[in-house]
Amino acid sequence: VTSSTPRDSSAAAIAASGLLDLAKQLAGTDGVTAAKYRSAAEKILTSLSSAAYLSENTNSRGTLRHATINYPLNPPIADDSSSMADRYFLQAVSRYQS
């Protein structure tokens, strides 16, 4: 990973959603680890909810900006909106609120 590696909001949204799922599964048996996972997911969601990632007041058709769709492609399809990013972002927000 270098400074020229594109950001990927879809990967971040998937990670946040997964961390929240893990936190829920561990809540009854390992509250300390569950809290760490939830805190990490909260940091990711805070970042994704910021003006740097939300597409408010832009021409984007998606909710999140800065998704990478096909990194192996040269050049990659990056810095765009993606339905997968939006889907997992909304799933993570829903899991966070419940």
Structure confidence by residue, pLDDT tens digits, 25-71: 999 999 999 999 999 999 999 999 999 999 998 888 899 999 988 77
Rounded distance, CA 22 to CA 61, Å?
31
Amino acid 13 reads A
Categorize the per-residue pLDDT at 7 as very low, low, confident or very high, splitting at 50, 70 and 90: confident
What is the percentage of the chain residues whose pLDDT exceeds 90?
71
Q: Which of 11, 40, 48 is nearest to 23 (CA)?
A: 40
75: pLDDT strictly greater than 80: no
Comparing 74 with 88, the larger pLDDT belongs to 88
Instruction: Report how far residue 69's alpha carbon sits from residue 3's, in angstroms, rounded to the nearest whole number.
Output: 18
Where residue 67 falls (left for φ over 0; alpha for ψ -120 to 50; beta otherwise) is beta
Q: What is the pLDDT of residue 80?
A: 83
Structure tokens at 52: 């740097």
Q: What is the pLDDT of residue 83?
A: 93
Please tell me the distance from the alpha carbon of residue 20 to that of residue 89, in angstroms, as a whole number: 12
For residue 90, what pLDDT is reported?
Answer: 97
